[in-house]
Structure 1
Amino acid sequence: MKNFLKVTAIYAAFFLSFGNYASAATEQKLTWAGCGISKNAFMAEMAAAYKKKTGIEIDFKGGGATKGIRQVSSHEVDIGGTCRHLIEDTETLTTVPEERRVQLTPVGWDALVVIVHKGNPVENVTIEQIRDIYTGKLTNWKQIGGRDAPIELYVRKGKISGVGRTLRELVFNNYDQEFVAKYVVEESSNLEKDMVSNPNGMGITGISSARKIQDIAKILKLDGKEPTYDNIKSGAYLLYRPLYMVTHMQEKNPEVRKFLAFVMGSEGKEVMRKAGTVPYEDGIQLWLKYLDQQNKAIAKQRQQAGLPVSKTIPKSKLSNKVQKDQISAR
């Protein structure tokens, strides 16, 4: 399957080629666009640490995971951040035109979490209950141990947002899954804000964003597991997903690669840990499990389109070094 998993993690090349950072006198700025979850997970802290070290500022544009990919592809920004992978054409298994010409480098691990109003008595939800809620089979909180009140579900608009696509991937193994929801919102930040004010509300977002509001909203356990750092790192919390940095395949600005080397190096990993995000290499054993979920979703999409599924599943196009690391971590 051509162009499946354009993921790059060639660590040694970055460190050998770009070990010397720009001096503090450098006035260059780098521009970044991407999902708010990536920004909350590590990018805000990473940008501050990098500016302190090099003097180079990261100018945040926001815009979501899709813009984080496509604006790098079109050279509108230097770097992107995404919490979903590239979208592929179901029939040809090639990356859609808007998302070609980029490389995704996995740098950290996020988790999808269910958030509700702070006063909601429910403490735990199962993956099966999530499926039933999102397909309209469960509609009242009392059906999952709560009070007698309607479940007012919030979802992201469309099917290609970072949260929407990975939720369909991890919970339904179906990128085309339709959701039955009362509210459809443009951004995850809107969903998060509404959980604070709606006692019957329920939504799913990234753990890094949910932590920002956990004093005024509630994060539910999933199958009895809390989305703690250790549970995400070990895979005990099941709804984990990689966070990627996006760069252009023909990137010529050395400062972009220097920044990526910083993110992937020891200093960058420590910034992530302090921010509560698991660095990619710390949870590298999760990758093959995650890849299996991706493959199932792609296979189901092709099956629904009446296409053969036998050729959907090559291994990832990671570097040989990283593939060996993953195999040894199993």
Structure 2
Amino acid sequence: MLSFSLSSYGLELKWAGCGITKKAFMAELASAYERKTGIKIELEGGGATKGIQKVISKSVDVGGSCRFRVNDDDASRASIKFNPVAWDALTVVVNQANQIDSISLESLRDIYTGKINNWSQLGGSDQPLDLYVREGKISGVGHTIRQLLFNNPQMSFEGSAFFPSSGPLEKAIEKNPNAIGMTGISSARKRNFKILKLDGKEPSFENIKNGSYTLYRPLYIISNRESDNYAEVKRFLSFTHSREGRDIMRDNGVVPYLEAVWLSSNLQRQWSDSRKIRN
């Protein structure tokens, strides 16, 4: 059982990471943890890469990431650990005015490679298709799209516009009736746009948990055992995996990692399938 202790009096943890992870569970978990223990967790967004770098430099105590480490610099830091705590899904989102309700995985690949560039190719109106993409290739969303759709982390996308983070991308799709993009389901549910089915499957809690919605990925809490506050970070991780922590995740439509651990093996199969398509 977690409780407030004199040794933690006045302690404040600092967290930095991806906006999707922040929206998925961190804001609610941080509030609940403060009520339970008296320990405040200060939250800062900015993306998965920023979170990883800040945990490595020990300028924050804990980070949030929607991708596993992909840089050599990340891998060389033996004190850093990526702790999977939840399952999120990548969703295809469009403007509310768009008449399309579902898209196939094959069509999605064709959009990112520029083969599909008009909505009429998907059964919609004769209008240009504006693909909105995250900048760079190592963002949480960008890396996951490249991994799950193409198994190629260096894949270049034929985007109409590029954005520094998921928030601006999502806001732009809300305003453009011809736009399409991808973001995390936990973030998408809090926006005013349409979430498309993928191969007829909705990115619902149950479809993510049972693996029938295929574009899922883990969300991580990053820790550094050399951090001055590492002991408290470990207590927060225990709280995250507790019944109360998992209830908070479920209330936000996020699948707790421990309730679908077997999905990890399915990811390996998806990477293998995308490798065959790439080759």
Same fold by TM (over 0.5)? Answer: yes
- Matched to 2:44, the amino acid is K
Q: 2:4 aligns with which of 22, 30, 45?
A: 22
Per the alignment, residue 242 of structure 1 pairs with 218
Distance 1:117 1:153 in 2: 12
Alignment of 1:285 with 2:262, yes or no, is yes
Alignment of 1:36 with 2:19, yes or no, is yes
Per the alignment, residue 205 of structure 2 pairs with 229
Per the alignment, residue 31 of structure 2 pairs with 48
Q: How far off is 1:58 after superposition?
A: 0.8
Question: Which string of whole-angstrom CA distances, capped at 9 and with x for unpartnered residues, describes residues 87-106 of structure 1?
Answer: 144xxxx8555x65310111
Identify unmatched segments of 5+ residues in structure 2: none
Identify unmatched segments of 5+ residues in structure 1: 1-18, 305-330
Say if 1:178 and 1:265 are closer, same or farther in 2 by CA, change over 3 A: same
Q: How far off is 1:252 after superposition?
A: 4.6
Per the alignment, residue 158 of structure 1 pairs with 136
2:14–2:60: 8 Å Cα contact kept in structure 1? yes
Q: How far off is 1:282 after superposition?
A: 1.0
Q: How far off is 1:295 after superposition?
A: 7.0
Q: How far off is 1:187 after superposition?
A: 0.9
Q: 2:251 aligns with which of 274, 287, 303?
A: 274
Distance 1:78 1:119 in 2: 43
2:2–2:37: 8 Å Cα contact kept in structure 1? no
Distance 2:118 2:273 in 1: 30
- Matched to 2:116, the amino acid is L
**Identity fraction in percent:** 49
Q: How far off is 1:20 after superposition?
A: 4.2
Q: How far off is 1:294 after superposition?
A: 5.2
Distance 1:295 1:78 in 2: 35
SS of the residue corresponding to residue 69 of structure 2 reads coil
SS of the residue corresponding to residue 212 of structure 1 reads coil
- Report runs of 4+ in structure 1 exceeding 6 Å deviation: none
Alignment of 1:139-178 (within 5 A): 139-178=117-156
Distance 1:257 1:132 in 2: 43
Question: Which string of whole-angstrom CA distances, capped at 9 and with x for unpartnered residues, describes residues 95-125 of structure 1?
Answer: 555x653101110000000110100000001
Alignment of 1:69-218 (within 5 A): 69-89=52-72, 95-97=74-76, 101-213=79-191, 216-218=192-194
Question: Which string of whole-angstrom CA distances, capped at 9 and with x for unpartnered residues, describes residues 235-258 of structure 1?
Answer: 110000000110013345221111
- Matched to 1:22, the amino acid is F
Distance 1:252 1:261 in 2: 18
- Matched to 2:234, the amino acid is R
Q: How far off is 1:265 after superposition?
A: 1.3
- TM-score, L = length of structure 2: 0.93
Distance 2:263 2:161 in 1: 33
Question: Which string of whole-angstrom CA distances, capped at 9 and with x for unpartnered residues, describes residues 111-166 of structure 1?
Answer: 00011010000000111101100000011101111111010010000000000000
Distance 2:273 2:178 in 1: 33
Distance 1:283 1:290 in 2: 12
Distance 2:163 2:239 in 1: 35
Question: Which string of whole-angstrom CA distances, capped at 9 and with x for unpartnered residues, describes residues 154-207 of structure 1?
Answer: 000000000000010011111111100110111110110011110100010000
1:21–1:258: 8 Å Cα contact kept in structure 2? no
Question: Which string of whole-angstrom CA distances, capped at 9 and with x for unpartnered residues, describes residues 16-41 of structure 1?
Answer: xxx54324983211000000000111
- Matched to 2:136, the amino acid is G
Distance 2:139 2:127 in 1: 29
Question: Which string of whole-angstrom CA distances, capped at 9 and with x for unpartnered residues, describes residues 279-305 of structure 1?
Answer: 0011111011114445788x89xx99x
Q: CA RMSD of the aligned region, Å?
A: 2.1
Distance 2:2 2:213 in 1: 38
